[in-house]
Amino acid sequence: MVAEFLSVIGEVELDLRVRVVVVTNEGTKFCAGVDLAEDSHDARGASTRRTTDLAELLNQIMSSPKPFVGRLNGHCVAGGLSLAAAMDISIAVSHEMFGFTEVRIGVAPAIISVVCLVKIRRVDAKLLSCGGIDLSPRRRRDSA
């Protein structure tokens, strides 16, 4: 998916008719990041390549001269959270779930946290990084 996304970004940046890029989803999940089970069975090179590709994708979105808008119509966890954070603005439905769910199995959100930490409150960053806590609007409202 990352390679396809990078290709589309290249196309829209060259198309003068495109003034804004809206990224959305079909179904109940916006993005859940990479398949960690697949990473554990791959050779180290494949995992490193996926990491490099993700970093390139996030950099392309953040450095694009065209605004990127995330229309998050479903759960947004793990690497998906970095995709949403890389957008110029992301708008989520109220039943959305956000979280660094990979920390629950001992995987640190290394690359994705770099993009996310500048966009969220410090206390939320701690909750996400230490426990993978769901920061959905509903959970935040119910716990207030």
Domain boundaries, the chain: 21-143
* pTM for this model (two decimals): 0.76
- CA 124, CA 130: separation in Å to the nearest integer? 10
75 confidence band (pLDDT: 50, 70, 90): confident
The per-residue pLDDT for 134 is 65
Question: Topology of 21-143 in CATH?
Answer: 2-enoyl-CoA Hydratase; Chain A, domain 1 (3.90.226)
69 confidence band (pLDDT: 50, 70, 90): very high
The per-residue pLDDT for 29 is 82
The pair phi, psi for residue 25, each rounded to 5°, is: -140, 165
Q: Are 39 and 54 in contact (CB under 8 A)?
A: no
Respond yes or no: is residue 96 known to be catalytic. Answer: no
The per-residue pLDDT for 24 is 92
Query: Which of 9-13, 64-68, 124-128 is predicted with the least confidence, judged by mean pLDDT?
Result: 124-128
The per-residue pLDDT for 101 is 74
